[in-house]
Structure 1
Amino acid sequence: MFRSAALLCPIAYLNRIQSILTKAAAQLHLVEELDSLGYSEFPPGWDILGPILEKICNEAGTNCSDIMTALTGPNCCVNTSKASVLLKHEPQPTATKNIIHLSQMIRTGTIAMYDYGSEDEKRKQYGNSSPPVHDMRNIPKELPLFLGYGGQDMLADVEDVKALLNDLKDHEEGELFQVYSEEYAHADFVLGVNASQVVYDPMISFLNLH
């Protein structure tokens, strides 16, 4: 189905995620609470999200004055005007179920299918009492992949990305391309003032080749 794939800040393993906001939300089961209240889209309005962020920040004991840094890591190369633009459009809405799924993987440290909770429902969905685990080694070895990741990213942690790369170590020679920037955090890949040279020029070269 794919000729190639370019992945920026690829989130697969979540064992070492450092984002205090994200980890706290997962551990507190806050999105599950929203789901139980009938919210099928995340994030809900700021009238709902604001108190949630306040609860997370108080629980985690972190300084949330800079929400983007607390969520993504210390971005080196996003200027103030670009950061304000990003925060007007982020986070992009998705299904609450999708965020619950991510929260489950943060808590368990596994890349698995959605956990429906009750054993009866899991057996109905999967024929098993636990959600099937995805094996990243099953990614086709001949599929050209481009991976960009940063040393300051608190969502796609370097060690988690390296765990994914370890699964891909048998990829065919010349079909796995990496761009690593020690100073980049998550948002730098989108709005970094030098992202064109650091990330997008090599990515476009990869896409032109594949």
Structure 2
Amino acid sequence: MITQCDPTQASVDVVLPCLDEAEALPWVLDRLPPGYRAVVADNGSRDGSARVARERGAVVVDVPRRGYGAAVRGGLLAAGAEVVCVCDADGSLDPAQLPGLVAELTAGRADLVLGRRRPTSPRAWPPHARLGNAVVAQRLRRRGVPVHDLGPMRAARREALLGLPIADGRFGYPLELLLRAGQAGWRIIETDVDYRPRVGRSKVTGTPLGTARAVRDMTAALARLR
């Protein structure tokens, strides 16, 4: 079980956007490395996620505005460490791998480090979701952003992240983050991380139709931000 620490003593804060992840949270929180403080941004959970997180020592912030981007921003505002990570709370990503991302950042090799997902089994990343991600990543590379994955695990400096003019409060947030970071001249690199089958059903790309809608929305966002 993690122990809650004072924000001035945490070396890294880990923002965990959360919507009904009570089943996955114990494993996720228990995998946090020493010195990494969990900031669970609860986005209206009805399954007791906030209670589970508090019982395991996490800081919990209530984010009433629905949407992934809104939850991430709420967590960043509640964080206190200079270095912050963002990680899904559904058990698909292992927080124990976060130090690999943070090391690239603190060594001065990057301003934004993304976890490039490597599936641990065929069930971890359905073909339709993987294809949709590849399509959007290719369009980002055409815009000069050197990524192959819109990775939901990332590390950066908190103040720099909050300084980016990101307007999307929903699932277009990762795309706009990368575009804004690229426009600001950030050095962006990727490092491989394991990608496991998530606990429960995806709220974005759980079905081919959901993936198609996500690709459509992100393509529209690319056009708006050109």
What is the TM-score of this pair, normalised by structure 2? 0.26
1 or 2, which has the higher strand percentage?
2
1 or 2, which has the higher helix percentage?
1
Q: Which has the higher contact order (CA 8 A, sep 6+)?
A: 1
Greater Cα radius of gyration, structure 1 or 2: 1
What is the TM-score of this pair, normalised by structure 1? 0.27
